[in-house]
Structure 1
Amino acid sequence: MKTLDRQKQEILREIYRLGYDTLRFSIFSKERPGEWEVVIEYDDTSGVYLVYGTMDRSSYHGKTAYRKFNAAKEGFMTFLEDIVMINKYYVEEGMPVNYDSPLWSNN
């Protein structure tokens, strides 16, 4: 468990460094993820990290499995970056965004 705590702190440092702390994400949480969250989990049974995004609370967008933490972290951070880019595009095109964030909303 200490390894996951350390890895979580490493991811959180990167999130804050990039200013992504207003995004919806879940890092090694035992709780069910909420809507529009980017999720990283560790599956003890198979020994893999899983990275995926939720839509509503009961559906998700393809889980990607990683054997190494650094690859999973990179996949997770890239997913967050993609969320910012797509929602900025939605704002530019006058389309509804997934949720409000100062990273793309003018509110």
Structure 2
Amino acid sequence: MNSDSIEEYKNILEDDIQILGYGDLRYSIFEGPENNRQEYQIRIEKIGGTFEVYMTADRAGVMGKYQFEDIFDAFHQFLSIMQDTILSNRKRVRDGEPPEYSCPLWDN
């Protein structure tokens, strides 16, 4: 897979994120494992022959890393983590607990 393919896949995933309305979440798509790291960020990276999907925690440490050979399986996991992030933070706000970070998807 060359860099043109990665850019094309990145554009597909970005489009899906915008259609779903998840654009305000913290995420990174194929930026490199050490680039643009933030706390509580959902990430997808191409590492060797696999795709890694994971979320960072406080101090940008890694939580729950998944590896896939198929890009579309990785996309599915990435979007699933996004949805879980929204739901869990909405529940936290509803229950009077602080969310992971401020975001219009659960602050309202």
Fold match, TM over 0.5? yes
Give the C-alpha shift of residue 57 in structure 1.
3.4
Aligned partners of 1:49 and 1:76: how far apart in 2? 11
TM-score relative to the length of structure 2: 0.92
Distance 1:100 1:73, change over 3 A: same
- Alignment length, in residue pairs? 104
Q: Which runs of 4+ in 1 moved over 4 A?
A: none
Partner of 1:42: 46
TM-score relative to the length of structure 1: 0.93
Please give the secondary structure, in 2, of the residue aligned with 1:39: strand
Long gaps (5+) in structure 2: none
Aligned partners of 1:12 and 1:89: how far apart in 2? 26
Aligned partners of 2:18 and 2:7: how far apart in 1? 16
Long gaps (5+) in structure 1: none
The answer to whether 1:92 aligns with 2:97 is no
| Aligned partners of 1:33 and 1:57 also within 8 Å | no
Give the C-alpha shift of residue 32 in structure 1.
4.6
More helix by share: 2
Partner of 2:15: 13
How many percent of aligned residue pairs carry the same amino acid? 32
Give the C-alpha shift of residue 56 in structure 1.
2.2
Give the root-mean-square deviation of aligned CA atoms: 1.0
* Counterpart residue type for residue 24 of structure 2: T
